[in-house]
Amino acid sequence: MKLSTLLALSALGLAAQTSFADEALLAIPGKLILDAKLDSAPTAPWKVAKGKWEPVDGVLRGSELEADKHGAVMRATQELSDFVVQVDVKFAGARTTTLTINAKKDHMARVALTPTMVTVQRDDNDHEGPDKAIVFHRVKADLKPGEWHTVRIEMVGDTMLGKVDNIVGYGSSELFTQTKTAPGVTVGGQSVEFRNFKIWEATKNPKWDEVKASIKNEVTAAPAAKGKGKGKAKAKAKASK
């Protein structure tokens, strides 16, 4: 390979890291292990579990199907250790969307968005058992339909950080030390568009303690779920998928 080509590739690698280094939070990204433009129908490593996923105008649109009785779900079939995952999202009528990561058994963590709220949380890891989701950060937002927003999860050791544009929250759990798997996105309703899904290997930012001191987690009350009794419980279970 020519020296000029090597220098060009090195410059591209440095540029990719510099974009994070300028705003380093929990993680410092390393090797880029998935770079998906999401401009075509899902193929490996993507697996569609629920919903309709179709390319529209150079991006991927996800929509819930009424027949599924479940939100739309698309995940990459990968296992991860410490990582950064990022995707651009745009509401196109849906109620909610998430960027999510699983444990080998059940859910692990997510950043959940509605047009009016952002939530960073550790997920319920056993559904019917004693474990419960833990909300680290939940604040009001203004995520207008038709506008792109960048969503990120960083996980290093026992700590996760979630970021939507300039909204940032974090938290720690022993659950996060387990193997991470199946990074992906979900959609509740019709529809959300996605582009530029990327995953990097990561190491801990040596200045994380300083950064952490500047982040203030808040937990705003969540909107009341519609329905009562069993219907409300079903709505909660559906939202956690």
139-190 residue pLDDT tens: 999 999 999 999 999 999 999 999 999 999 999 999 999 999 999 999 999 9
Q: Decide if domain 21-221 falls under CATH 2.60.120.560.
A: yes
Structure tokens given for 80: 């991860």
CB contact burial 63-100 (16+ within 10 A = b; e otherwise): bbeeeeebbbbbbbebebebbbbbbbbbbbebebbbbb
Percent of the chain with pLDDT over 90: 79
Q: How many CB atoms lie within 10 A of CB 135?
A: 17
Cis peptide before 191 (omega within 30 of 0): yes
CB atoms within 10 A of CB 230: 8
pTM, full prediction: 0.85
**Burial label, 6 (beta-carbon count in 10 A; 0-12, 13-18, 19+):** exposed
Nearest to 180 by CA among 204, 154, 208: 154
Amino acid 23: pLDDT: 77
